[in-house]
Structure 1
Amino acid sequence: MHTAPTQLDPSFETVWDELVYRGSVHVSTDADALRAALGGEPITFYCGFDPTAPSLHLGNLAQLVVMRRLQLAGHHPLGLVGGSTGLIGDPKPTSERQLNARETVAEWVSYLQRQVSRFLVAEGENPVRLVNNLDWTAPLSTVDFLREVGKHFRVGTMLRKDAVAARLESDDGISYAEFSYQVLQGMDYLELFRTYGCTLQTGGSDQWGNLTAGTELIRKAEGAHVHAIGTPLITEPDGRKFGKSEGNAIWLDANLTTPYAMYQFWLNQDDAIVVQLLKAFTFLTRERIDELAIAVADAPFRREAQRVLATEVTAYVHGIDATRQAAEASAALFGSGDLAALGVDTLAAAIASLETVTALPDAPVLQLLQESGLVDTLSEGRRAIQQGGVSVNNQRIEDDAATLEGRLLHGRYAVLRRGKKSLAGVDAG
């Protein structure tokens, strides 16, 4: 199994040109000035991640890939994990966030810092530096905060921010704490500008109001012009946002989203968006992506682009070995590999992706076919077995009185199959 090296595509004149090609710029401050800045002497840039969960997720990965491209171009990354903003939470368009305990947020800060460090190089001429905004907000008194930062913000402008406006129209309204989130994020940019000379912030386009709060604060407080890039939101084919608020998050922590589940997620992407995902989430060259785009158009049934996408991104997040195991599990689960050769953790992750029934170790296969929903009735199950259309762990069942006894993998798991594509899992643990 091979993956593309983590490097820039030499066919682009500047990293800005590559970001534009990859669809990573949805909105920005002055594009010409940004292209010049990113094509010149190294600058310092940052992206912030709030510890509202014990792991980063797919939306954060989009930012980390952009940061890595900028780092590869020689620019200096700052990875901000928001120990203070995480105590408040940026306003959701629908409802107030539940505040997490300070101890929980502090623990999550450590988790997220370790994750950020996995994707951005910590050695060399432009190593990543991790910063925590609690370091400069905690010592600041309320009066100093209002005098030094709050005086530069206009309430009318703050009310027009999309998330704030949406909340004002809701029944619950918005608390002063969440209303002030944009002031806190603006202060972050000002602090990093003063301390590190930071002149670029990246973030999701849904954060554009918060990003520009920082550029405006620096303009008013320091008389300087700095930049911001808002990346497109990552959405499913039906337009739904990938994110933990939607209940379908793909986490970067293997304990929350297994490498197998991540591999399958990318493998199942729609032809309509797979090329754009290759551009945004991988380090494949433009030439290679063009080849895969042709493959999608000419032979979509081969799903070559999806397999490459799944391999590249899963390996970037979890490494080659875990990705190889995930690919082998995927092949075995759908009939072209050896389920018995899979490790117990990999097999368990594969089983978890299926509709799963619990059973005794000697449960009748016929009964499990019905309980799992692979057949509606026992008589339908008997016919399926007699016609040679049922297997357990890819081994055909020929006797409708067969049980699980002697068939379980790792003494616990089985995969039921009816036909080629109808699968269910069995857990006899």
Structure 2
Amino acid sequence: MNKMSVLDILNQRGFVEAVTHEDELKEYLDKEGATCYIGFDPTGPSLHVGHLVTIMALAHMQRNGHRPIALVGGGTGLIGDPSGKTEMRKVITHDQVNENKQSIQKQLSRFLDFEDGKAMLLDNADWLTGLEYISFLRDIGRHFSVNKMIKAESYRVRIESDEGLSFIEFNYMLLQAYDFMQLCQAHDCRLQMGGSDQWGNIVAGIDLVRRTQSKTAFGITFPLITTSSGIKMGKTHKGAVWLDPEKTSSYEYYQFWVNTDDADVAKFMALFTFLPMAEIDQVKGIEGAKMNAAKAILAHEATAIAHGLAAANEAFDAAATVFGAPSIPENLCPSSHIPRDGDGNLRAASSMPSSTVDIERLKRGIAAVDLFVETGLSKSKGDARRLISQGGGYLNNDRIEAFDTLILDSDFKDGEILLRAGKKRYHKIIA
């Protein structure tokens, strides 16, 4: 049986919306050692779940013997890509770009192996910021037709918006095409991938490579991923779900995935985990307790990839303490490293901080503010008051409405009282 090509894998798992030169691209990717790239906007310190399709595509490329380049747009980020935008982006400084670039590489390192040149993180500022305008117009600009450019979807939307398309943004297509040409020259990179809104920019780059390098370059675009209810992937009522654990904790990240709609579980497993498709196919059509187990597997796998296995286990344990550990059948996605047979409850119970409180005191009632200090959930009464007043204090998973609320012996549930500070700090009072 012939080994599946990476293009077949991407197609099978739902990554591909469109490709250029499909037969030649297959031939190019059938041989190991091809180089591909995707650009990342460095205007923020963290990537988010909406970037995962592109990141996972690079990871699949690497796992199949190819070399991925993550191109940080330190140069183009100073301008802003108009694709998919209805207003001009804010201009940021070089120092901000460099700081964000370091954070982005740290996040990407969870998905890609950058050791020994197996993957590269490059910055287009290295070749864009030193460009001479006249030379650029003469050597590069002459290959572009304004008539063709303004027909691109990204430009058309901006032209029709109230703010219009600035001349700075109009140059973006030329600069991204120039990136592709530079990467082809320096690293023999002949494949660019990106979201569906990047089609015009990618095709422009392919054309520039052909004109200047006399080489055939390729493009793959990915569909916009939405949930079954039509919501853009990664968007929640609280905003973006970040890959940086300082911005979205491992527990919050896990909870985002475990709350996936039933109809999306198999699709998201295919896109956002490395579980074999044969195992994912078995998830289709299951329901009830098995579906809840599948959601836990999705959440655990996605969290393990982005934050590490230890963080995924901690998130699983925390969720098990609050909601109960799901029973994960041995034959359901057996490649997953998720804890099985309910042992998450046992581990969570043993690892959660706990203490005993004199029952007579609880019969009289202890103010929540005092108990949060005694258990170490708050450093001081002032901290505890602020925490509870801002809605961050919980008693048995119910928000505590006032800092002087009395916690009583009647609050014991199955022999324990569960206190929580914020989203992930727990303490258990044992009878």
What TM-score range do you get, normalising by the shorter chain?
Answer: 0.7 to 0.9
Aligned length: 370
Report matched runs for 1:209-224 at 5 Å: 209-224=200-215
Instruction: After superposition, give the CA deviation of every residue in 1:89-117 in whole Å (9 maximum; x if it has no partner).
Output: 11143211111223212211222223223
The 3 A distance-change label for structure 1 pair 304 and 243 is closer
Q: Is the 8 A contact 2:36 2:191 kept in 1?
A: yes
- In structure 2, what is the Cα distance between the partners aligned to 1:19 and 1:277? 13
Q: Percent identity?
A: 38
2:248 aligned residue:
257
- In structure 1, what is the Cα distance between the partners aligned to 2:81 and 2:316? 37
- TM-score if structure 2 supplies the norm length? 0.76
2:296 aligned residue:
307
1:280 aligned residue:
271
Instruction: After superposition, give the CA deviation of every residue in 1:148-193 in whole Å (9 maximum; x if it has no partner).
Output: 2111111111111112111111111011111211111111000001
Report SS of the residue matched to 2:138.
helix
Deviation at 1:127, TM superposition (A): 0.7
The 3 A distance-change label for structure 1 pair 118 and 291 is same
Which residue of 1, 5, 9 corresponds with 1:18? Answer: 9
Which residue of 345, 352, 357 corresponds with 1:342? Answer: 352
- In structure 2, what is the Cα distance between the partners aligned to 1:364 and 1:181? 49
2:88 aligned residue:
96
Which residue of 308, 312, 316 corresponds with 1:323? Answer: 312
Q: Is the 8 A contact 2:110 2:307 kept in 1?
A: no
Q: Is the 8 A contact 1:292 1:304 kept in 2?
A: no
The 3 A distance-change label for structure 1 pair 135 and 291 is same
Which stretch of structure 1 is more off in the superposition, 220-229 or 259-268?
A: 220-229
Which stretch of structure 1 is more off in the superposition, 191-200 or 108-117?
A: 108-117
Runs of 4+ deviating beyond 6 Å? 244-247
Q: Is the 8 A contact 2:141 2:174 kept in 1?
A: yes
**Larger relative contact order, structure 1 or 2 (CA cutoff 8 Å, min sep 6):** 1
Report matched runs for 1:26-175 at 5 Å: 26-91=17-82, 92-123=84-115, 127-175=118-166
Q: Is the 8 A contact 1:62 1:281 kept in 2?
A: yes
The 3 A distance-change label for structure 1 pair 182 and 243 is farther
Which residue of 175, 187, 199 corresponds with 1:196? Answer: 187
CA RMSD of aligned residues (A): 3.6
The 3 A distance-change label for structure 1 pair 396 and 251 is same
Which stretch of structure 1 is more off in the superposition, 171-180 or 90-99?
A: 90-99
- In structure 2, what is the Cα distance between the partners aligned to 1:177 and 1:270? 41
Q: Is the 8 A contact 1:242 1:249 kept in 2?
A: no
- In structure 2, what is the Cα distance between the partners aligned to 1:115 and 1:278? 20
Which stretch of structure 1 is more off in the superposition, 39-48 or 317-326?
A: 39-48
Instruction: After superposition, give the CA deviation of every residue in 1:275-298 in whole Å (9 maximum; x if it has no partner).
Output: 1111111111121112222434xx
Q: Is the 8 A contact 2:46 2:103 kept in 1?
A: yes
Report SS of the residue matched to 2:87.
coil
Instruction: After superposition, give the CA deviation of every residue in 1:11-30 in whole Å (9 maximum; x if it has no partner).
Output: 85212111110011111112
2:367 aligned residue:
none
2:388 aligned residue:
358
- TM-score if structure 1 supplies the norm length? 0.76
- In structure 1, what is the Cα distance between the partners aligned to 2:85 and 2:423? 44
1:268 aligned residue:
259
Give ranges in structure 1 of 5+ residues lacking alignment. Answer: 1-9, 349-355, 373-384, 398-406, 416-429
